[in-house]
Structure 1
Amino acid sequence: MRKNVILLAVCNLIFQGIYSQVVLSADGPGNTYELINAVLANPNRDVVEVPDCNHDAFGRHIDEVFDTALNKNVFQFYIHVTPDNDRCLKDDRQRNEIKTYGDSPENLKANIGETVAYKWKFKLSDTFKPSSSFTHIHQIKAVGGPYASVPMISFTLRKGSPDKFELRYTATTDQNTLKTADLELFKGHWVSVTEVIKFGEEGSYSVEIKKIANNEVLFNYTNSPLDTWQDGAEFARPKWGIYRSLNNPQDLQDEIVKYADFSIEEITDVLSVETLKEKAETILLFPNPSSDEVEFKNANSDNYDLIEVYDYSGRKISIDKKLHNDKLDVSGFSKGLYFIVFKQDTVIAKVLKCYVK
């Protein structure tokens, strides 16, 4: 019997295939804009929006440096309270962002009905100061239609008591806050983000942010069904960087936000967690939670011929030599909640919820 095991990290969706993936990673100092454009745009298209033209004495506002914590090259996004502006225009806001465009490769643009996983890492300084109006560090925006001016999803940092990290959303123009966290949780260390969106009027959204040093989950949110398509849109696209209000410049300071390993993946064949929960019965795991090995109790191998698996973003995990006589070695997996999926003739027969501690 063929038994390949895949562990499915909990999010609102479970994925059974990756259609395509594009990764943008820093490769060392020099030619940073050229690297970004080579990955996110077609030739001769500039997807870098920086305030260089009004602050050319500083040089490029995105560069690459070696980061000792990650042991790799990363991107640095600079923003200065003055004289940086918004795309060379005098305005009440300023931005330094990268994004995709209409003539970017097709698999970098989200269309209605598609499911896309966005992954990246970022680091705020331990003294970061957000605006009381808005400081966006990530957005999902529509291109085309009456609602294109307002991001459907944004990670917004906001001054307060305490300062907040906000997950904000709208399907029209009335943006609201879905969940908040104390911004102090994110300051001074690298975090990884996995954001999964099924785009549609009855779509879904999930996000998980982890502290890379110890894999601690700092923030998570799931919602399904959720309207994740702004009417009239031609496509949706991601944006990363620093986009902030200048309404109260006295509250701000010059900032550097570091980013690494931007990834965009189109995913196919989505199964809902609700479907999996309905099948999570009969077979038991012991011990559960576990940090070493779990055993399948009451497992009848006549009822399944495959045990499959996917990580949080839907990527298959190689687990050679980890399954023996209905026992699964979980010692190499990150802490968290997983689904173990039993299949028979490609149809899901059972699903187990496994907690790794």
Structure 2
Amino acid sequence: MKQKSIFYVVLLCSAIIQAQVVLEANGPGNTYELINAVFANPGRDIVESPDCNHNDFGRHIDEVFDNELNKNVFRFHIHVTPDNDRCKKFDRQRNEIKSFDDSPENLKGNIGENVVYKWKFKLSDTFKPSTSFTHIHQIKSVGGSYASIPMITLTLRKSNPDRLELRYTPTNDQNTLKTLNLEALRGTWVSVKETVKFGNAGSYAIEIRKTLTNEILFNYTNTSIDMWQDGADFTRPKWGIYRSLNNPQNLQDEIVKYADFSVEEIANPLSIDDLKKQAERIVLFPNPSSKEIEFKNIGSLNYNTIELFDFSGRQLNVDKKFQNDKLDVSDFSKGLYFIVFKKDTVKLKVLKCYIK
């Protein structure tokens, strides 16, 4: 009797990673040089620190070994006095790293791109935020009339209780999307994952977890949100400490630790129509066959199941008979069969197969 079994092949259909940039601390010394080597093109300095008016302290970003993470991390310093914003503005303080227009292309967010940002950070046990703003992360446009205000901001604010705020604006009207009691973050390493589809019909998601326990502390998702400020050339991420000095009596010298910065561009997933167009190229050879049938032009078609049916519509079984895009049909009865390529529940292609 001829063998009958279900022809069911499962493929891993994960997104294709286009580009990833990772910045990790590697030990004391040459910290600015390390940051620039990863986040900037040769000859460019993308560290914006208050060193210019506080040179006797030394570099305001350095690297230390962290016993909790068991690895080297970046340490961002800020002092109530005399630190300012690059010797240009004196009502605020800035110690940040970011990408620029001449940074590597895969560090810049362009319209239509999907980008995942990941990093870790740790506030001190007694961290004191400003009543105005204490930004620790931003996604900001470059170019256009709205470039002065970031699309996305994680800011820490003195309140009752002190809180983390997720702030958003597509133009110049900034809104708070969600808040978190700051006590949940003080003295704890947390891991952040931020997923963005840049565009007027974009999407945004963020998740903050305790690094050591993986407990979720904060999350937010919006799959229909304007994530492109009109007229922008590109967007860029920023990390560090950027705080107001409007009420310095409420502040103290602070250290924020950061680790494991990652910027990852993800390819846009193909639509079902695109997949069907890909599937149109598939042919069977030889057909008819009595031994083996090869699937030609299957390439990188993003399908996740293949099913085989006989002429009466019964689904048949060919366990372990599919290898290297070839199907062994030597044990099947003569006749007409149908091979179905599917993506989830959608049929991409149906092929007639003759066994002689």
- What secondary structure is seen at the aligned counterpart in 1 of 2:57? coil
2: distance between equivalents of 1:249 and 1:224? 39
1:260 — aligned with what?
259
Shift of 1:224: 1.7
Q: How does 1:58-69 map to 2 (within 5 A)?
A: 58-69=57-68
Query: Structure 1 stretches of 5 or more lacking a match?
Result: 7-14, 273-302, 307-343, 351-357
CA deviation digits over 1:334-357, x for unaligned, max 9?
Answer: xxxxxxxxxx8361239xxxxxxx
Evaluate the alpha carbon distance shift between residue 271 and residue 89 of structure 1 in structure 2; reply closer, same or farther with a 3 A threshold.
same
Evaluate the alpha carbon distance shift between residue 305 and residue 65 of structure 1 in structure 2; reply closer, same or farther with a 3 A threshold.
farther
Q: How does 1:175-254 map to 2 (within 5 A)?
A: 175-254=174-253
The answer on 1:348 being equivalent to 2:344 is yes
1:304 — aligned with what?
305
Shift of 1:305: 4.5
Q: How does 1:1-357 map to 2 (within 5 A)?
A: 2-3=9-10, 16-270=15-269, 304-305=305-306, 345=341, 347-349=343-345
2: distance between equivalents of 1:34 and 1:346? 50
2: distance between equivalents of 1:345 and 1:206? 32
Alpha carbons 1:199, 1:229 under 8 Å: kept: yes
Alpha carbons 1:164, 1:180 under 8 Å: kept: yes
CA deviation digits over 1:192-244, x for unaligned, max 9?
Answer: 00000000000000000000121100000000210000010000000000000
TM-score of the aligned structures, taking structure 2 as reference length: 0.74
Alpha carbons 2:46, 2:98 under 8 Å: kept: yes
Counterpart of 1:304, as a letter, is T
1: distance between equivalents of 2:118 and 2:199? 20
CA RMSD between the two structures: 1.8
2:310 — aligned with what?
none
Counterpart of 1:348, as a letter, is D
Evaluate the alpha carbon distance shift between residue 64 and residue 346 of structure 1 in structure 2; reply closer, same or farther with a 3 A threshold.
farther
1: distance between equivalents of 2:12 and 2:305? 12
1: distance between equivalents of 2:252 and 2:270? 45
> Which 10-residue stretch deviates more, 84-93 or 102-111?
84-93
Counterpart of 1:126, as a letter, is D
2: distance between equivalents of 1:256 and 1:107? 29
- What secondary structure is seen at the aligned counterpart in 1 of 2:106? helix
Counterpart of 1:193, as a letter, is V
Counterpart of 2:78, as a letter, is I
TM-score of the aligned structures, taking structure 1 as reference length: 0.74
2: distance between equivalents of 1:26 and 1:80? 22
1: distance between equivalents of 2:188 and 2:77? 17
Evaluate the alpha carbon distance shift between residue 246 and residue 304 of structure 1 in structure 2; reply closer, same or farther with a 3 A threshold.
same
1:287 — aligned with what?
none
Alpha carbons 2:11, 2:305 under 8 Å: kept: no
- What secondary structure is seen at the aligned counterpart in 1 of 2:206? strand
Shift of 1:88: 1.6
Alpha carbons 2:114, 2:268 under 8 Å: kept: no
Counterpart of 1:92, as a letter, is D
Query: Structure 2 stretches of 5 or more lacking a match?
Result: 1-7, 272-303, 308-339, 347-356
Evaluate the alpha carbon distance shift between residue 34 and residue 172 of structure 1 in structure 2; reply closer, same or farther with a 3 A threshold.
same
Alpha carbons 1:304, 1:349 under 8 Å: kept: no
Counterpart of 2:23, as a letter, is L
Shift of 1:4: 5.3
Alpha carbons 2:53, 2:84 under 8 Å: kept: yes
List structure 1 segments (4+ residues) > 6 angstroms apart after TM superposition.
none
Question: Which protein shows a greater Rg?
Answer: 2
1: distance between equivalents of 2:68 and 2:270? 36
